Structure 1
Amino acid sequence: MKRILGLDLGTRTCGIAISDTLGIAHGYENFRFLDGAYKQCLAHIMEVLQKEDVHEIALGYPLNMDGSVGERAESCARFKQELLGLDPTLKIELVDERMTTMIATKRLLEADLSRRKRHAVIDQQSAVVILESYLEAKENAQ
């Protein structure tokens, strides 16, 4: 199975997860960038894609709870287009990320991580949840 990147894009951090060849999602890193400096984040994601030889991305799409598209979701859609502008061969799917932070927080609490450690990895764990959701949907579609 090809490896896939999962992204949880925020305004200052990007949680990154990656799947292994068995299709299991793992946390990769939390990338911090200057507030709104998406070009810096884009460059880093392109480096990770090249380093890990990945050509598919599950990008978290933060819809509002009522399913409507808000400012953050529009920002993620623009980020997707920017990535495709840098590499048109990428396969990028927008994945509904509602509730992912809550699921990730619950997992970290169950793992008995301190508040400080949870804060340090929450976006990365949210990216894992996004990637798991995408992998599960792909598997169910087959």
Structure 2
Amino acid sequence: MSKVLGLDVGSKTIGVAISDALGWTAQGLKTIYWNEPDFQSVQETFKQLIDDHTIEKAVVGLPKNMDGSIGFRGEASQEFAAFLESTFSLQIVMWDERLTTMAAEKVLLEADVSRSKRKKVIDKMAAVMILQGYLDSQP
């Protein structure tokens, strides 16, 4: 089985998580800094990630509004997912990520991680929660 990427796409950073080969657990991999919507700025980085880890599927967090509607951030995530799908022929799964960043923040606060360290890992942690939620939902 190939590994799965989990992505938390923000306007300045993209949190990246990756599954183990069996698709059971998600681990934080890195935070990529970018200038949305310049997809070309991250194309080489993603090509390397996909090639290095034999990725065939990406789970992209879809930030919905609390009423379930899709706002600007959700549309931006969908555009990024479309870029990944068309550029790298990846299978894309959009995953409802409501509250994942808040949940990640809570975990880090409970672990007594300093504010500056939280800022560095929050996106990666949110990506882990997105990917783990997806992996846990698989039969």
**Structure 2 spans left out of the alignment, 5+ residues:** none
Per the alignment, residue 117 of structure 2 pairs with 117
SS at structure 2 position matched to 1:59: strand
Q: C-alpha displacement at 1:47, in angstroms? A: 1.9
What amino acid does structure 2 have at the position aligned with 1:98? R
Q: Give the stretch that moved more between structures: 101-110 or 126-135.
A: 101-110
Task: Verify the 8 A CA contact 2:2 2:54 in the aligned structure 1.
Answer: no
Per the alignment, residue 31 of structure 1 pairs with 32
Alpha-carbon separation, structure 1, partners of 2:26 and 2:40 = 26
- CA RMSD, Structure 1 to Structure 2 (Å): 1.3
- Structure 1 residues 73 and 42: alpha-carbon distance in aligned structure 2, compared to 1, 3 A threshold: farther
Per the alignment, residue 20 of structure 1 pairs with 20
Give TM-score, length-normalised by structure 2.
0.92
Alpha-carbon separation, structure 1, partners of 2:98 and 2:123 = 13
Q: Does 1:96 align with 2:96?
A: yes
What amino acid does structure 1 have at the position aligned with 2:108? L
Q: Percent identity?
A: 40
What amino acid does structure 2 have at the position aligned with 1:118? R
SS at structure 2 position matched to 1:55: strand
Task: Verify the 8 A CA contact 2:6 2:130 in the aligned structure 1.
Answer: yes
Task: Verify the 8 A CA contact 1:6 1:128 in the aligned structure 2.
Answer: yes
Q: Does 1:74 align with 2:75?
A: yes
Per the alignment, residue 11 of structure 1 pairs with 11
For these two proteins, the number of residue pairs brought into alignment is 138
Deviations 1:73-92 (A, max 9, x none): 1111111111111122x111
- Structure 1 residues 129 and 57: alpha-carbon distance in aligned structure 2, compared to 1, 3 A threshold: same
SS at structure 2 position matched to 1:4: strand
Alpha-carbon separation, structure 2, partners of 1:34 and 1:124 = 17
Give TM-score, length-normalised by structure 1.
0.90
What amino acid does structure 1 have at the position aligned with 2:40? K
What amino acid does structure 2 have at the position aligned with 1:93? V
Task: Verify the 8 A CA contact 1:101 1:122 in the aligned structure 2.
Answer: yes
Q: C-alpha displacement at 1:35, in angstroms? A: 4.5
**Structure 1 spans left out of the alignment, 5+ residues:** none
Per the alignment, residue 108 of structure 2 pairs with 108
Alpha-carbon separation, structure 2, partners of 1:43 and 1:136 = 30
Task: Verify the 8 A CA contact 1:14 1:41 in the aligned structure 2.
Answer: no
